[in-house]
């Protein structure tokens, strides 16, 4: 693209500016500061009176819900940029049930191993950070009793609720 010489470009810009100013002055001279009052036609005035009367009268049927009232504004403007939080979701009602039965806590034992002594097995368990040995029938930690020892699991009874729990230990190799 070819550029114009500096002098020619300045002349064209000055001419465009002068033309814009001339058009602005010509158009602004046509406006007048006086405001003309126009009288309404008889038909429009009659319709206007009827509509005002209809607005004041309650609607047919006596229902006040359908009546339009003029909009009321607060004396101070509202903050249009204020965040609006949606209402919280409704809380689902829990179905009415009989009182929930208390349940035993999860087993606090970790299986470490087993040692067989004839027909009985001695279990090596970790309980509250201590390594302990237990057999079937032993009470551990005043709340648990070892009920039965099998190849793949150990059955405990949680004594406060007399509830049985099973600890899976896996098969022997």
In-domain check, residue 132: yes
What pLDDT score was predicted for residue 120? 85
CATH number, domain with residue 150:
2.30.30
* DSSP-assigned letter for residue 86: P
Query: What is the number of structural domains in the chain?
Result: 1
Per-residue pLDDT of 74-96, as tens digits, reads: 777 777 777 778 888 888 877 66
Per-residue pLDDT of 124-171, as tens digits, reads: 999 988 999 999 999 998 899 999 988 889 999 999 999 999 999 876
Residue 144, token pair as written in the block:
């648990």
Spell out the residues 6+ positions from residue 148 whose beta carbon is closer than 8 angstroms to its own. Answer: 136, 154, 155
What pLDDT score was predicted for residue 1? 60
In-domain check, residue 100: no
In-domain check, residue 116: yes
What pLDDT score was predicted for residue 59? 55
In-domain check, residue 161: yes
In-domain check, residue 135: yes
What pLDDT score was predicted for residue 169? 87
Spell out the residues 6+ positions from residue 145 whose beta carbon is closer than 8 angstroms to its own. Answer: 137, 138, 139, 156, 157, 159
Task: Please tell me whether the overall predicted TM-score, pTM, comes out greater than 0.85 for this model.
Answer: no
Share of the chain above pLDDT 70, in %: 75
Choice between 98 and 115, residue whose per-residue pLDDT is larger: 115
In-domain check, residue 4: no
Domain that holds residue 114: 109-168
Residue 53 φ/ψ, nearest 5 degrees:
-65, -40
């Amino acid at each position: 693209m070819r550029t114009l010489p500096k002098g020619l470009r300045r002349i064209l810009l000055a001419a465009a500016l002068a033309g814009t100013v001339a058009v602005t002055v010509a158009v602004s001279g046509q406006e007048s500061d006086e405001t003309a009052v126009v009288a309404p036609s008889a038909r429009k005035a009659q319709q206007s009176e009827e509509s005002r009367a209809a607005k004041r009268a309650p609607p047919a049927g006596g229902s006040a819900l359908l009546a339009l009232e003029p909009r009321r504004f607060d004396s101070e403007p509202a903050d249009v940029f204020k965040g609006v939080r949606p209402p919280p979701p409704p809380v689902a009602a829990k179905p009415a049930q009989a009182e929930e039965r208390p349940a035993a806590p999860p087993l606090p034992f970790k299986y470490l191993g087993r040692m067989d002594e004839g027909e009985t097995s001695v279990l090596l368990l970790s309980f509250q950070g201590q390594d302990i040995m237990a057999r079937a029938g032993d009470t551990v930690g005043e709340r648990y009793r070892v009920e039965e020892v099998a190849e793949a699991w150990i059955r405990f009874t949680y004594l406060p609720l007399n509830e049985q729990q099973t600890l899976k230990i896996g098969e022997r190799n």
